[in-house]
Amino acid sequence: MRVCLNDLIFKGYHGLYDAEKKLGNTFRVDVTIDFTPSVNLIDQMDQTIDYVEVYQLVKKMMETPTPLLETLVCKIADQILFEHTIAQYVHVKITKETLPIPFFEGKTSVSIEKRK
């Protein structure tokens, strides 16, 4: 079974450069969590991954300024695996919408995959 949270949008102050820390940026976060259900038909919340809880976890971590997105994706992935004991695999991707580089067009992202 797979639970996905896609295109979560956050304003954050992550980055190494003063402009990033002062002005902030828009970040998009994608999370994929795999698990094996213990029943054939999931009909109770304790049999699945609560995506509201995952969203709250991601939101809290995105509110804490972090210099490197690499650090942030690792912390989010580790915390999801820790808090959701049935989770077997997690993929977290954070995309930075704009960069403080003159004439740079495009986006950049950092992602990680972790398994138990």
pTM of the entire structure? 0.93
pLDDT in tens, 18-70: 888 888 999 999 999 999 999 999 999 999 999 999 999 999 999 999 999 99
* 2-115 CATH fold: GTP Cyclohydrolase I, domain 2 (3.30.1130)
112 phi and psi angles, rounded to 5 deg: -145, 150
pLDDT of 101 reads 76
Closest by alpha carbon to 81, among 100, 57, 111?
A: 57
pLDDT of 12 reads 94
pLDDT at 3 over 90: yes
Active centre residues (catalytic): 96
Where along the chain do its domains lie? 2-115
Structure tokens at 87: 């989770």
Structure tokens at 95: 């995309």
pLDDT in tens, 69-113: 999 999 999 999 999 999 999 999 999 998 877 888 888 999 999
